[in-house]
Amino acid sequence: MTVSAHKVQPNLSPIPGIRNIIAIGSGKGGVGKSTTAVNLALALAAEGVRVGVLDADIYGPSVPAMLGLSGRPDSPDGKTIEPMRAYGVEAMSIGLLVDQDTPMIWRGPMATSALTQLLEQTRWGGEEGLDYLIVDLPPGTGDIQLTLAQKIPVAGAVIVTTPQEIATLDARKALKMFEKVEVPVLGLIENMAVHVCSNCGHSEHIFGSGGGAQMAERYGVPLLGSLPLDVGIREQGDAGSPITAAAPDSPAAQAYRQAARAMAQALDGRPRAPMPISASLRD
């Protein structure tokens, strides 16, 4: 894949060394947003592009556990941080800088400051830079989401929801928030769309059906994919070995790869950035 840098919000410029920042958001918690973000990143990396994941959930970071990361990242100069690496992707999270059981009792300005520091002081991509930086947002539409939308150059956003009506109600708020701050919504991903019994093969729509497709049609955005409710996704995520890496030929992993390709294609249809973004510009 050849990846171009794409246009970001007005009055902002792409960050040197990062061609495209894609925000993964949701209107509520519990819809599998972090699991989706991590598996999308690994699916993109499997296509041969350079990918990073920024865990923007300052209060409840989960990306390190899902990627099986532990220890502390290095700081070669005392000012910048080397991202940690797993399964072909780079990652940074506040969870890598504090003890696992330490609660982040911070007000909004402190949390947003931590987010911008993690983004700007991490040495993403080395000399070659990143094609995509996937940002796993916390649920909702609060301070961190607004900071990302107003101060960080985002090429596009993806909304994760389940088919359940109560989930799509909240997902609409996240979609509207991105629209108001002029971040293009690349599409929706419907998680936990169908469960297939591992014993008998019976399919059941536990959280309802068609919610994601109806929301996509209503707001005129693509439905990038429908992901299964699969015990393997949960087991591999808990084990620190996401299913796209642990079982790349499984139906669940293939669903993530199809959604990642659709997301990349949706971004590719957006206007390009005015000039190429080179990692060397950071120096």
Catalogue the E-assigned strands of 46-106.
51-55, 84-86, 89-93
Q: Are 36 and 137 in contact (CB under 8 A)?
A: no
Residue 197 has pLDDT above 80, yes or no: no
Q: Is residue 141 part of a domain?
A: yes
Token couple for 131? 């094609």
228 half-sphere exposure, CB direction, 13 A CA radius: 19
pLDDT-wise least confident of 119-133, 163-177, 219-233: 163-177
Q: Is residue 275 part of a domain?
A: no
- 34 is annotated as contributing to ligand binding: yes
- 7 is annotated as contributing to ligand binding: no
- 125 is annotated as contributing to ligand binding: no
Handedness of CA 72, 109, 145, 283 (dihedral sign): negative
Q: Are 261 and 226 in contact (CB under 8 A)?
A: no
| Structural domain containing residue 131 | 21-270
Instruction: For 73-94, write each residue's pLDDT tens digit.
Output: 998 888 899 999 999 999 999 8
Mean pLDDT across 39-43: 97
Q: Is residue 50 part of a domain?
A: yes
Which H or E element spans position 177?
A: helix 165-180
* Cα–Cα distance, 269 to 104 (Å, whole number): 39
pLDDT (0 to 100) of residue 280: 41
- 28 is annotated as contributing to ligand binding: yes
Residues with Cβ within 8 Å of residue 54, at least 6 apart in sequence: 91, 92, 93, 118, 119, 122, 133, 134, 135, 136
- 151 is annotated as contributing to ligand binding: no
* Cα–Cα distance, 53 to 242 (Å, whole number): 14
Q: Is residue 13 part of a domain?
A: no
Q: What is the CATH number of the domain that holds 173?
A: 3.40.50.300
* Cα–Cα distance, 197 to 205 (Å, whole number): 11
Token couple for 201? 């093969």
Average pLDDT, the chain: 86
Q: Is residue 47 part of a domain?
A: yes
pLDDT-wise least confident of 5-9, 20-24, 75-79: 75-79
Q: Are 171 and 27 in contact (CB under 8 A)?
A: yes
Q: Is residue 11 part of a domain?
A: no
- Radius of gyration of the CA atoms of the chain, in A: 18
Q: Is residue 276 part of a domain?
A: no
Structural domain tally of the chain?
1
